[in-house]
Amino acid sequence: MKRVAIDIGHANGTGARGNGFEEHEQCKKLAVELKKALEAFKLCPIQADIIDFPEMSNGGDLAATVRAVNAGNYAACISLHMDASDSPKAKGAHVCYYSERGKELAKEIALRLCPQLPGRANTTVKRTDLYVLKNTRPVAVLVECGFITNPNDAEWVDKNPDRVALSIALGIASFFDYEN
Ligand SMILES: [Zn+2]
């Protein structure tokens, strides 16, 4: 049994907004679906915990998330976000990583998620400035599930949280499969 930490990006109301949607609220929906999808795998048993501190400040949420992830016996940490841009035309999902193992996990998730939310030239990106990725001990990635500021991305994610979740879950399961 592997344990996966699902981090809902940002505290309530502190993330991005667009097209009538709010980032924390949308990522919470995605987290519930991701937990369901991960725990449905029979050949690769996974227990998933949703990590969320909705009433904190953004900085408080980050610090509390890192503490919770490092205190649990997690095999991986997935931070769920939606991107934002001043241009409503910017669209597409991508997956951020920091470590070499994070890069492998990011590739497995991007391979399945990004065809559904296309638009980014680089579907995986190394980021050295993301607190959650740098400070968590388990392999960690940050998934930007499309742009909340793009009408098509925002609508599609809102209507299909189960499909976004399944793509991410399949990526995680296949990463675990490689490493075993
Ligand atoms: Zn975010």
Domain ranges of the chain: 2-179
CA 180 to ligand 1 centroid distance, Å: 31
CA 43 to ligand 1 centroid distance, Å: 32
CATH fold label, 2-179: Aminopeptidase (3.40.630)
**The pLDDT value given to residue 178:** 79
**The pLDDT value given to residue 120:** 97
**The pLDDT value given to residue 43:** 85
Q: How far is CA 179 from CA 72, 101, 160, 172, in A?
A: 20, 10, 30, 11
CA 51 to ligand 1 centroid distance, Å: 15
CA 82 to ligand 1 centroid distance, Å: 5
Mean per-residue pLDDT pooled into runs of 10, the chain (180 residues): 96 95 98 98 93 94 96 97 98 98 98 98 97 96 98 98 98 89
The closest alpha carbon to 42, from 173, 178, 175, belongs to 173
Strand pairing report for 94-97 and 17-18: unpaired
CA 147 to ligand 1 centroid distance, Å: 10
**The pLDDT value given to residue 44:** 86
CA 83 to ligand 1 centroid distance, Å: 6
